[in-house]
A = this chain, B = another copy of it.
Amino acid sequence: MHEYFMNLALLEAKRGAKYTHTNPLVGAIIVKDNKIVARGSHLRYGCEHAEKNAISTCKTPEKIFNSTLYVTLEPCNHKGKQPPCTEAILKMGISKVVVAQLDPNPIVSGKGIKFLRDNGIEVTTGILEKEAYNLNYAYNLFHTQKRPYVVLKQATSLDGKLAFTNERTQITGKEVYDFVRKERDNYQAILVGAKTVLIDNPKLTGASTSLYPPKRIILDKEGTIFQHKELNLFKDDSSEVIVFSKYKNEDLPSHVTIITPNEFTIKEILTEIAKLGIQSVYVEGGPCIHDQFLASGYWDEVISYISPTLLGGSNTSSFNSDRTTNEKITLHDINVTKLGEDIRISGRKESQCLQD
Contact = CB atoms under 8 A, between A and B. Distances in A.
By size class, the interface of chain A is 35 or more
B321 A313 contact: yes
A161 interface: yes
A167 to B, nearest CB: 7
A343 B165 CA distance: 28
A347 B311 contact: no
Looking at A154, A308, A310, A334, the one whose CB has the most chain B CB atoms below 10 A away is A310
A161 B159 CA distance: 9
A200 interface: no
Chain A interface, DSSP helix/strand/loop, else mixed: loop
Contact of A330 (B161, B309, B317, B336): B309
B309 A325 contact: no
Contacts of A331: 158, 308-310
Given A312-B294, A324-B314, A343-B345, A319 B164 contact: no
Contacts of A311: 319, 325, 327-329
A325 B324 CA distance: 26
Contacts of A164: 325-326, 328
Number of copies: 2
A261 B169 CA distance: 38
A208 interface: no
A320 interface: yes
A312 B329 CA distance: 9
Contacts of A240: none
A341 interface: yes
A302 interface: yes
A304 B165 contact: no
A193 to B, nearest CB: 16
Interface string A280-302: 00000000001100110000001
A249 interface: no
A338 interface: yes
Interface string A125-158: 0000000000000000000000000000010111
A309 B294 CA distance: 12
B157 A302 contact: no
Interface of A: 154, 156-161, 164-165, 167, 169, 171, 290-291, 294-295, 302, 304, 306, 308-315, 317-331, 334, 336, 338, 341, 343, 345, 347
